[in-house]
């Protein structure tokens, strides 16, 4: 189990600022399909959620509302990042020589990435928010022994919601 007391705890104000940073990062990395960065951001988001709940006695509902507001504001810039990455991969595809030894493999790899990004480009904001909040609270509950008392929160599984692609 992780221990929130192994380092100095951030104040309530610092925790709220960190919550915003980690929620935005988690959303961005989820939408860009960057799994290791998503998992790192998710761990930090879960830790700060646990800190807010356990040490600052913040209601889970307030934390959920904060994350929703933060991610709503961050959605369009993150969506633009996804569109830019798609365009970047499409430009890279134009430079691939399919007759070269690894040309077809590289083209297929880029097509797979483009398809995955296209899926998140059109994913509804509410679904992304739900996935990030579910992952964060699930991890806070498991890794930091945080009691989550929220009637609408349900744990679906142990794994983060980022899928292969």
Determine contact, residues 23/132, Cβ cutoff 8 Å: yes
Kindly list the domain boundaries of the chain, sorted by start residue. Answer: 12-143
Rounded-to-integer distance, Cα 42 and Cα 143, Å: 12
Listed residue (135, 142, 143) closest to 160, CA to CA: 135
pLDDT of residue 152: 58
Q: What is the largest CA-CA distance in the chain?
A: 62
Averaged pLDDT of the chain: 89
Tell me, what's the pLDDT at 4? 54
- Sign for the CA dihedral angle at 90, 24, 65, 158 comes to positive
Give the model's pLDDT for residue 137: 95
Contacts of 71 (CB under 8 A, 6+ apart): 23, 24, 27, 125, 128, 129, 132
Q: What percent of the chain has pLDDT over 70?
A: 87
Tokens (6 digits) for 90:
């499409």
Q: What is the pLDDT of residue 7?
A: 72
pLDDT of the residue at 41: 98
pLDDT tens across 83-127, in order?
999 999 999 999 999 999 899 999 999 999 999 999 888 899 999
| pLDDT under 70: residue ranges of the chain | 1-6, 150-165
Strand, helix or coil for residue 97: coil
**How many residues make up the chain in this entry?**
165
């Amino acid at each position: 189990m992780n221990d929130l007391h192994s380092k100095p705890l951030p104040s309530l104000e610092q925790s709220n600022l960190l919550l915003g940073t980690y929620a935005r990062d988690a959303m961005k990395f989820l939408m860009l399909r960057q799994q290791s960065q998503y998992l790192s951001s998710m761990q930090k988001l879960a830790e700060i959620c646990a800190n807010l709940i356990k040490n600052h006695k913040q209601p889970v509902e307030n934390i959920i509302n904060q994350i929703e507001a933060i991610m709503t504001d961050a959605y369009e810039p993150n969506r633009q990042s996804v569109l830019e990455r798609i365009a970047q991969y499409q430009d890279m595809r134009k430079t691939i020589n399919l007759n070269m030894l690894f040309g077809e493999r590289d083209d297929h790899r880029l097509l797979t990435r483009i398809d995955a990004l296209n899926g998140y480009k059109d994913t509804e904001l509410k679904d992304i928010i739900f996935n990030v909040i579910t992952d964060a609270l699930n991890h806070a509950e498991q890794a930091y022994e945080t009691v989550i008392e929220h009637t609408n929160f349900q744990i679906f599984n142990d794994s983060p919601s980022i899928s292969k692609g």
